[in-house]
Structure 1
Amino acid sequence: MVISLGESQLEIRDTAKNLGILFDSQLSFTKHVSKIISQSYLKLRHLYQFKDLLQTRIKVQLVETLVLSIFNYGDCLYGPCLNAVDKRRLQVIQNCCVKFAWKVPVREHITSYFKELKMLRLDERRFLHYSCLIKKIIDTQNPSYLYNKIEFRRNAHSRVIPNSNDISIPRHTTAAYETSFSYLVSHIYNQLSPQAFQTSLAYFKEKLKK
């Protein structure tokens, strides 16, 4: 299929890059995951040259700044769309970061090291980031095109009903809809207590992280 715009023909591509995020035609973000994994392995490989020269605290700061920050960028966008395989691929990188920081033997489990570092796994980090994004949108009512998608039950009913501070869950018939902002804002907000969203952002983030 060819799309014409005036006298020009637009080339159809399977992927497009916008603000550093690779969008594919299926919105699976698999190619974006492959890209950031490649970038992360390259940075981690350079860090391994100094694994015996640096203290654990410094190594943690380095992986947070140089490696894990790559996953933080745009995770509220691509995170909800990830399949189980891509989630696992990303988590392997974070596991490598922890092993680098603590010199963990290859076959040893690293759960205890995550607890020692007080480091959230990537799925927990994405949940934290998305929750903070929701709070910012509710507090500032910006951007308006996202805030207008939030429908509190207290505004939808004239009478007092149980859980009136909850956000109404939109009706949907497909699993793909559950990756949308309209669904996730209701799912996450209702999962937490409405009172939690009435605190400051810094307090909210700290308590949720704990």
Structure 2
Amino acid sequence: MQINFLKLNCEKTDFIIIGPKSLTKTAHNLTINIDNSTLSPSPHIRILGIIFDSHLTFERHVHNITRTAFFHLKNIARLRPSLSSTTAEILIHLFITSRLDYCNSILYGSPSKILNKLQYIQNSAARLLTHTRSRDHITPVLQKLHWLPVPQRIHFKVLLLTHKALHNQAPRYLTDLLHHHTPSRSLRSSDANLLSIPLRTKHRTWGDRAFSIAAPSLWNSLPKPIRDCTNLSTFKSLVKTHLFRSAFNV
């Protein structure tokens, strides 16, 4: 930071140790001395609005999204009798959907108990918009609104990043993680535009969530016409339609 003429504010500096519980427990007493200040590991840190924890569970992050989303949802509910459906939907997308979608690719591979909390937010927003009772089934409502459920929205974001990385529209550190699959001999799948999937890692809850594994896995599951699409706008439309049909079995 001195080389780049930046001032380090130690009072606002945090560091976190990320790893399995066996590692974080043994490193709990680790301290770092910077600029005559002693720093201890923090259980949570915020980076660009994302709250990271030592085990990458993102429970604290999802809790924060839930609390903020329902705050705005309650305010929209007070105004709902005076709003048209179009205006109410705009407010929901502005204050609720935007929070569900922000950096949601980091939640790929998260357990269902985490994703269900986010899905409950979307379900509540759909009920508010359509005046659906709490005892009524929500799936037909989401389908009618043409809203992708939360897991599919996460898959969409990962696939979008993958498409950009393959077409030199993403940072180099993402592009370098993807490699086209090259069969050892000539096969019909040689021109299938598939990606090579690295060997599975030991810890599925950690390694399989990495972009280098998640991206090829989702990409290879797409139909070939979608994988071959080079236009970004067309790709978005095709992927959304594919994920929508997959989510609602249509």
What is the TM-score normalised by the length of structure 1?
Answer: 0.91
Letter in 2 for 1:188: L
Shift, 1:80, TM fit: 1.1
2:233 is matched with: 202
Q: Select the structure of larger CA radius of gyration.
A: 2
1:92 is matched with: 120
Q: What does the per-residue CA deviation read over 1:55-108, in whole Å, with 9 as the maximum and x for residues that have no partner?
A: 22221121111111011111012x214221111111111010001101111211
**2:32/2:40 contact within 8 Å kept:** no
- Bigger helix share: 1
RMSD: 1.7
Letter in 1 for 2:232: L
The 3-state SS of whatever aligns with 1:51 is helix
Letter in 2 for 1:203: T
- Choose 61-70 or 3-12, whichever is displaced more: 3-12
CA distance in 2, matches of 1:160, 1:96: 52
Letter in 1 for 2:133: P
- Choose 91-100 or 138-147, whichever is displaced more: 138-147
CA distance in 2, matches of 1:195, 1:65: 33
- Structure 2 stretches lacking a partner, 5+ long: 1-28, 242-250
Q: What are the residue-to-residue correspondences of 1:29-44 with 2, within 5 Å? A: 29-44=58-73
The 3-state SS of whatever aligns with 1:5 is strand
CA distance in 2, matches of 1:136, 1:152: 14
CA distance in 2, matches of 1:201, 1:207: 10
CA distance in 2, matches of 1:161, 1:170: 20
**2:66/2:118 contact within 8 Å kept:** yes
What is the TM-score normalised by the length of structure 2?
Answer: 0.78
**2:108/2:155 contact within 8 Å kept:** no
**1:2/1:9 contact within 8 Å kept:** no
- Structure 1 stretches lacking a partner, 5+ long: none
